[in-house]
């Protein structure tokens, strides 16, 4: 996609970038891990033909559905912890910490 023609910071540019990032996050979550334990497909991820395949899947006029991108059998992580704390002065903090299965 020629992002320079869409305009820096335009809604169209942001839309295409978000769609590309969704695909990148799927690759990160399903294909990457500690190289001592996982064979990371670095060559595939850097391959221009692979990038072309992803680009062809992106519809610049329709938001994609992340769940449709996830490989079969790759569900939501079960390694999530959340806690909220409020002190006597009313100050509050909420923390959510999640590990991807391959990184736990």
What positions carry a catalytic annotation? 80
The HSE-up count of residue 7 (CA atoms within 13 Å, CB side) is 4
Q: Which of 96, 98, 100 is nearest to 75 (CA)?
A: 100
- In whole angstroms, what is the distance from residue 40 CA to residue 33 CA? 7
> Six-digit token pair at 34?
């500690």
DSSP string over 53-68: HHHHH--TTS---HHH
């Amino acid at each position: 996609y020629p992002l320079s023609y869409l305009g820096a910071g335009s809604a169209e540019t942001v839309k295409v970038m978000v769609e590309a990032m969704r695909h990148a996050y799927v690759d990160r979550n399903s294909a990457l891990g500690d190289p001592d334990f996982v064979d990371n497909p670095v060559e595939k991820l850097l391959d221009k033909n692979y990038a072309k395949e992803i680009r062809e899947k992106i519809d610049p006029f329709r938001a994609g559905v992340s769940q449709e991108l996830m490989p079969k059998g790759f569900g939501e992580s079960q390694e999530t912890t959340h806690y909220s704390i409020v002190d006597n002065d009313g100050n509050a903090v909420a923390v959510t910490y999640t590990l991807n299965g391959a990184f736990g």
